[in-house]
Amino acid sequence: MKKPTFHGIALLVVGVACGSNADDGSTHPSGANNDAGSPLQFSDSGGGADGQLVTSSVPMYPELWYSVDQSLVRVELAADGTVSKIQASTITFAVDSGQSAITMLKDGSLLFSRLSSADRQSHFFHVANPPRDGSAVTPRALGVMPNKIMVEGLYTDCEGRLYAMDTGDDDSSAKGNRLLRFTGNVTAGDYTFVQVSDLGTADVADIDDMGPGINSDNKIVDNPGLAIDTGNIYAFDFETGKGNKVGQAGTFGIHALGGSLFGDKKSRLYVMNDSAQIFELNPTTFAASNVLGKGPKTDPGPPGWSSLAGPLTDCIAVSGFTPPK
Q: In this predicted model, what pLDDT tens digit does every residue of 79-93 receive, in sequence order?
A: 999 999 999 999 999
Res 13: pLDDT: 36
Mean pLDDT of the chain: 82
* Cα pseudo-dihedral 272, 178, 186, 215, rounded to 10: 50
User: Region 279-308: what's the mean pLDDT?
Assistant: 94
Question: What percent of the chain has a predicted confidence (pLDDT) above 90?
Answer: 57
Which of 198 and 121 is assigned the larger pLDDT? 121
Across 243-278, b (16+ Cβ under 10 Å) vs e yields bebbbbbbbbbbbbbbbbbbeeeebbbbbbbbebbb
Res 14: pLDDT: 37
The model's pLDDT over 100-140, given as tens digits with 9 standing for 90+, comes to: 999 999 888 999 999 999 999 999 999 999 999 999 999 99
Res 167: pLDDT: 79
Could you tell me the pLDDT band of residue 51, with boundaries at 50, 70 and 90?
very low
Kind and range of the H or E element at 279? strand 277-281
pLDDT at 35 over 80: no
Res 70: pLDDT: 96
Tell me the CA distances in angstroms from 293 to 23, 181, 238, 270, one per residue in order.
Answer: 32, 33, 30, 12
pLDDT at 224 over 50: yes
Helix, strand or coil for residue 186?
Answer: helix
99, 112 Cβ separation under 8 angstroms: no
Res 318: pLDDT: 64
Tell me the CA distances in angstroms from 192 to 122, 184, 254, one per residue in order.
Answer: 15, 5, 26
The model's pLDDT over 228-267, given as tens digits with 9 standing for 90+, comes to: 999 999 998 888 888 899 999 999 999 999 999 999 999 9
What CA–CA distance (Å, rounded) separates 129 from 110? 8
Neighbours of 106 (CB within 10 A): 25
Task: Tell me which of 60-64, 199-203, 309-313 is least confident.
Answer: 199-203
CB-based burial label for 291 (10 Å; 0-12, 13-18, 19+): middle
pLDDT at 317 over 80: no
Question: What percent of the chain has a predicted confidence (pLDDT) above 70?
Answer: 79
C-alpha triplet 98, 28, 146: angle, nearest 5° = 40
What CA–CA distance (Å, rounded) separates 266 from 264? 5
310, 290 Cβ separation under 8 angstroms: no
132, 29 Cβ separation under 8 angstroms: no
Which of 177 and 168 is assigned the larger pLDDT? 177
User: Region 151-179: what's the mean pLDDT?
Assistant: 83
pLDDT at 36 over 70: no
Could you tell me the pLDDT band of residue 211, with boundaries at 50, 70 and 90?
confident
Domains annotated on the chain, with CATH? 53-316 (2.115.10)
113, 100 Cβ separation under 8 angstroms: yes
Which of 318 and 30 is assigned the larger pLDDT? 318
Question: In the beta sheet, which residues pair with residue 228?
Answer: 209, 233
